[in-house]
Amino acid sequence: MVNARIAAIDVGNDSLKGIFGKMEHEINIPNIVARDIEDRPIIGVEELNNQDPNDGIHIRVHSPTLKDNNSIYRVGYLATKSNNATELDPGSNKSEEDQTLIMLFAALALDAARDENKQNFKRSNQVIEATYTLGTGLPLREVKEGKDVAYRSRLLSSVHQVEFLVTPKYQGLKINIKFEEVKIYPEGFAAYINLVMDQHLNIINKELIDKRILIQDIGGLSTDIAVIKNRKVDDDKAQGFNLGVSESLEQIREEIRSKYGIELDSRRDVVEIITKKSDRNHIMVKGSRTSVHDIVDRILLELAKKQYRHLRNMWQRNSQTEICYFIGGGSIILKEYLVALNNNLDGYQIDFFEDEKESIWMMVNAYYKLIADFSRRNQREKQSEEQKMAKTK
């Protein structure tokens, strides 16, 4: 019997984060895809094979779960260089988009193709049979609407194939992906798990266990506010909103293009401009360092006001709340604006994560804790059953 490899994957609106195996492999790629042709131009095979596969993901994806099956894509960094690159649109459901599945399958294929996994998966004639136990998540809104059930079923019901085309090191490999089990967690619950528990789900933040907490997760396309009460998410009070940072990033990108004639490839480029440590909120225009602070401040302050209104409304409905944690990539972008608004207005007890990676990787870390614990318990149950069977023989 083949042992399934653990995978925890957060298909975030900005980027995909993944943790695999015994945490020995991580992956982080922009959530951008672009339709492509089979023979994309390259300089030479020798140079191709010296590159990082993550920088040149060029694949054909075959899966009956896809609306547009058997198509060819550039994914991640390679897709940012395409004129027809697509990012998820505001208002879309993560569980129903082909792009979510393409990103998910690409990440699993990249892990399965690594030389380090030759002992884990059967290989024959450039075909790898990869079996995973997957932990992933969906926004609270989609889970409350029951979309997680259909999403899980789509993953479990088929074998999904990723064929690497002109991809460094992996060209010609075909990865057949199957799932032994798929667990889909509501994102707010996952954030709480990550806040209070370690890798073995032992409590590490005892002071938070019995507190009433809000967790406001600001993503690219949506915002989830989880209400934590009696050590669990209050499903009735938790809310999701179609309000993320992506639309504001697009607005900043468009105003920079309109005012300065500068074309930025993707929202990710905008994020880099507004979060970099030096020369923040500056671009180069004809070789000259130019501030775009006025554009960024006006647009992000407007978004922060909308996010703050959601916080205020949720706090008023949950008046015994003790603290709100802001998490997610959007919270890093809006932090200074939210802090200023809170200081000038209500003065709620709010907190952010100083470690940007911790905030951005919070969901996938939680998925890993949960799926690893599930896998351990599952293994113990199988061993117990095998021992019982052995005794009866």
Highest mean pLDDT among 8-17, 83-92, 346-355: 8-17
Please check the confidence at residue 186 and state whether its pLDDT lies above 90.
no
Q: What is the pLDDT of residue 305?
A: 97
Render pLDDT for 102-113 as a digit per residue (tens, 0 to 9): 999 999 999 999
For residues 91 and 221, the answer to whether their CB atoms sit within 8 Å is yes
**Which tokens hold the place of 51?**
């590159």
Q: Give the residue-averaged pLDDT of 246-259.
A: 94
Domain limits at 286?
Answer: 210-360
In a domain, 58, yes or no: yes
Same domain, 259 and 118: no
Highest mean pLDDT among 19-28, 242-251, 371-380: 19-28
Lowest mean pLDDT, pick from 120-124, 198-202, 292-296, 309-313? 198-202
In a domain, 391, yes or no: no
In a domain, 201, yes or no: no
Same domain, 255 and 347: yes
Same domain, 10 and 143: yes
What residues pair up with 223 in beta bridges, in sequence order? 218, 241
Please check the confidence at residue 1 and state whether its pLDDT lies above 50.
no
In a domain, 171, yes or no: yes
Same domain, 278 and 377: no
Same domain, 323 and 276: yes
Please check the confidence at residue 206 and state whether its pLDDT lies above 80.
no
- CATH no. for residue 50? 3.30.420.40
Q: Give the residue-averaged pLDDT of 195-224.
A: 83
In a domain, 214, yes or no: yes
CA distance 185 to 66: 22
Where residue 42 falls among pLDDT bands split at 50, 70, 90?
Answer: low
CA distance 182 to 8: 10
Same domain, 61 and 20: yes
Same domain, 333 and 373: no
SS (H, E, C) the chain: CCCCEEEEEEECCCEEEEEECCCCEEEEEECCEEECCCCCCCCCHHHHCCCCHHHCEEEEEECCCCCCCCEEEEEHHHHHHCCCCECCCCCCCHHHCHHHHHHHHHHHHHHHCCHHHCCCCEEECCEEEEEEEEEEEECHHHHHCCHHHHHHHHHHCCCEEEEECCCCCCCCCEEEEEEEEEEEEEHHHHHHHHHHECCCCCECCHHHHCCCEEEEEECCCCEEEEEEECCEECCCCCEEECCCCHHHHHHHHHHHHHHHCCCCCCHHHHHHHHHCCCCCCEEEECCEEEECHHHHHHHHHHHHHHHHHHHHHHHHHCCCCCEEEEECHHHHHHHHHHHHHHHHCCCCCEECCCCHHHHHCHHHHHHHHHHHHHHHHHHHHHHHHHHHHHHHC
Same domain, 181 and 247: no
Same domain, 34 and 163: yes
Where residue 393 falls among pLDDT bands split at 50, 70, 90?
Answer: low
Burial of residue 30 (number of CB atoms within 10 Å: 0-12, 13-18, 19+): buried
Q: What is the pLDDT of residue 45?
A: 52
A 10 A CB-CB count for 281 gives 18
CA atoms within 13 A on the CB side of 173: 25
CA distance 303 to 333: 11
Of residues 235 and 154, which shows the higher confidence score? 154
Same domain, 221 and 274: yes
Lowest mean pLDDT, pick from 55-64, 287-296, 374-383? 374-383
Q: Give the residue-averaged pLDDT of 126-148.
A: 92
Rounded-to-10 torsion of CA 85, 362, 333, 324: 140
Strand 288-291, strand 282-285: pairing: antiparallel
Please check the confidence at residue 41 and state whether its pLDDT lies above 90.
no
In a domain, 61, yes or no: yes
* pTM of the complete model: 0.86
**Which tokens hold the place of 1?**
């019997």
Same domain, 342 and 231: yes
Q: Give the residue-averaged pLDDT of 146-173.
A: 95
Q: Give the residue-averaged pLDDT of 174-179.
A: 98
Please check the confidence at residue 279 and state whether its pLDDT lies above 90.
no
CA distance 202 to 200: 5
Render pLDDT for 50-62 as a digit per residue (tens, 0 to 9): 789 999 999 999 9
For residues 181 and 193, the answer to whether their CB atoms sit within 8 Å is no
Q: What is the pLDDT of residue 56?
A: 92
Q: What is the pLDDT of residue 2?
A: 59
User: How many domains, in total, are found in the chain?
Assistant: 2
Highest mean pLDDT among 138-142, 184-188, 256-260: 256-260
CA distance 154 to 168: 30
Render pLDDT for 259-276 as a digit per residue (tens, 0 to 9): 999 988 888 889 889 988
Percent of the chain with pLDDT over 90: 59
In a domain, 392, yes or no: no
In a domain, 86, yes or no: yes
Same domain, 346 and 378: no
Q: What is the pLDDT of residue 276?
A: 85
